[in-house]
Structure 1
Amino acid sequence: MWFKNLQIYRLPTPWNIDLAKFDEQLGRGTFARCASHEPMSRGWVSPRKDGGLIYSNNRQWLIALAIEQRLLPSSVVNDEVRERADKLTDEQGYAPGRKAMRELKERVTEELMPRAFTKKRTTFVWIDPQNGWFIVDAGSPGKAEEVIEHLRHCLDDFPLTPLHTELSPQSAMADWLAGGDAPHGFTIDRDCELKAVGEEKAAVRYVRHPLGDEVSGEIKSHLAAGKLPTKLALTWDDRISFVLSEKLEIKRLAFLDLLKEEAEKGAEHADEQFDADFALMTGELTRFLPQLIAALGGEIVESAPAAGGASTTPPWEA
């Protein structure tokens, strides 16, 4: 149980919801297999396959959203529609009109849907109600929004807000690269991406490349020419490596081997290993996130939206 990406949101500190009540409300949206006529289904599943919808360990919670989709490629639908349209043209002496083609496509999709293969994926969420963290292990805001939207349907009150910092990640990364040094507790690693703000979006990428003095001069030239950093690889406290994005997403999160070895000590079976992994991961992230926020100038605290709703549009996309 090691997260690989962090989409970061905030809850009130503390988030006063009873565990039993939270579990009861999640029960309103449990997962059911995709019906033959449905393109998609989603719902809560047990994160540890033990039947419970919430895994709780040391006041840290873990939930999981399963999404099952029927895979019906548009090319398959279009080929079948074309064949039927050609047959209709031969039978009636003229080609089907726009409305008839639309209805034909809907009918073909409906007929083929039960025969389509299904694909299932699960997205995990770590919730720290005491410190107000709501963290989705997802590579994009869109996948995190799937979780948030389903929670809105299930919970009576869901006062979620995006994480806002005094410094934008882009300006902070530019300062670190221009100065040749990361903030206290962090080190700059070997990956970096810079993009121009013009229409062409010209980009420069350094991949597994030491960003030392020689490259630092090049990067400063790119910054002076108007390019801005969109990704920067960093390591925190020699314990966690990650890539920070311009949108305050954490990508390619990796807990160093020493941490995983600590979790493996004394774990005799899978359940104990799960407990140890989750406890160590959340313990490290509880220390890491405040330091990352401090490196970005501190948090801007905003009031939560009205009950039942949560605006998740980041300030840089508003």
Structure 2
Amino acid sequence: MWFRNLQIFRLGSDWAYTTEALAQALQTGIFQGCGATDRTARGWVPPRGEEGELVFSVARQQLIALGVEQKLLPASVVRQYAQAKLEQIEAAQGYKPGRKQRREITDQVETELLPRAFVKRGLTYVWIDPVNRWLLVDASSPARADEVMEQLKLSLGELPLTLVKTQVAPATAMTQWLAAGEAPGSFSIDRDCELQAAADERPAVRYVRHSLDSEEVRNHIANGKSATRLALTWNDRVSFVLTEQMQVKKVSFLDIIKEDAERQAENADDLFAANFTLMSGELAQLLAHLVEALGGEGE
């Protein structure tokens, strides 16, 4: 349940969902799984497992989860089976099937194969912080976050959500920090980054496990490259990679934080609650400091 990636949204001031109201609203979109001929299915599942509630809540922090199933049926397999059937039809009727018939046969073959296809299952956690007005999706890509937003809209209607914008763009700030050799406040620069030029081909230089406090890095910046990704550590407790799109990736919590959760727990339910409490507490502080380091929120 420890989040690895953060797609960050700001909750509007009119967000008024209590845990009970949110759980009731999510009931309309409970996960049902793929039917025999469905390619995909998605819906809300209990974040703590089948026996739990749809909304897990501790200290006014809420956790929900979107379950997704996808049938794995490659187009090449459909074409292979459809071609065999088309050849049988051609042999029987003495001429090649027309375009319409070929399309109908392909659709028929797909319908026949879908019930036998393997199913890939996924789970996306969503943390809602009404106190500090954050909504965070544990997803590595905006596309996965969009799935969550679409499902939330189906369950809740209009969403008072916006992407977070800061006074200083992340790319500008990260470039300045690299040029100065240090990050502000409780942040420190780690050893991974990506520098990219604004030219048409967007030439890029990537550093992995490499000292970034060097003339080589500063020369790239002086020659017009800017930082699009930068590995940072906050307060010696959480490491992550910040991107130019204000996405937080590769989140890693110091082992002592997880050990604290384990010491507090007497059983699996207690451990889940302790993990969520500690994670949400750490990330709420990290986000506040990150926005501050980027000049505060913009309009």
List gaps (5 residues or longer) in structure 2. none
- The answer on whether the counterparts of 1:15 and 1:130 sit within 8 Å (CA) in structure 2 is no
Q: CA RMSD in A?
A: 1.5
* Secondary structure of 2:288's aligned partner: helix
Moved over 6 A (4+): none
Q: CA deviation at 1:282?
A: 0.7
- The answer on whether the counterparts of 2:192 and 2:207 sit within 8 Å (CA) in structure 1 is yes
Equivalent runs, 1:202-213 vs 2, <5 Å: 202-212=203-213
2:31 matched residue in structure 1: 31
- The answer on whether the counterparts of 2:231 and 2:239 sit within 8 Å (CA) in structure 1 is yes
One-letter amino acid matched to 2:287: L
Equivalent runs, 1:73-88 vs 2, <5 Å: 73-88=74-89
- The answer on whether the counterparts of 2:191 and 2:207 sit within 8 Å (CA) in structure 1 is yes
CA distance in 2, matches of 1:281, 1:148: 22
CA pair 88-223 structure 1, distance change in 2 beyond 3 A: farther
List gaps (5 residues or longer) in structure 1. 302-318
- Farther-moved stretch of structure 1 (9-18 vs 146-155): 9-18
CA distance in 1, matches of 2:175, 2:264: 44
CA pair 99-197 structure 1, distance change in 2 beyond 3 A: farther
CA distance in 2, matches of 1:14, 1:189: 38
Equivalent runs, 1:108-147 vs 2, <5 Å: 108-147=109-148
CA distance in 1, matches of 2:87, 2:177: 62
CA distance in 1, matches of 2:244, 2:200: 18
2:289 matched residue in structure 1: 291
Equivalent runs, 1:113-192 vs 2, <5 Å: 113-192=114-193
Paired residues, what number? 298
Q: CA deviation at 1:85?
A: 2.8
- The answer on whether the counterparts of 2:14 and 2:160 sit within 8 Å (CA) in structure 1 is no
CA distance in 1, matches of 2:131, 2:171: 29
2:47 matched residue in structure 1: 47
Q: CA deviation at 1:260?
A: 1.2
CA pair 96-196 structure 1, distance change in 2 beyond 3 A: farther
Q: Once the two structures are aligned, what percentage of the paired residues are identical?
A: 50
- The answer on whether the counterparts of 1:14 and 1:132 sit within 8 Å (CA) in structure 2 is no
1:97 matched residue in structure 2: 98
CA distance in 2, matches of 1:172, 1:92: 70
2:237 matched residue in structure 1: 239
Q: Which of 278, 284, 288 matches 1:280?
A: 278
- Deviations, residues 86-123 of structure 1 (Å, cap 9, x unaligned): 33333444433333322222111111111101111110
Q: CA deviation at 1:14?
A: 6.5
CA distance in 2, matches of 1:198, 1:118: 43
2:263 matched residue in structure 1: 265
Q: CA deviation at 1:200?
A: 2.5
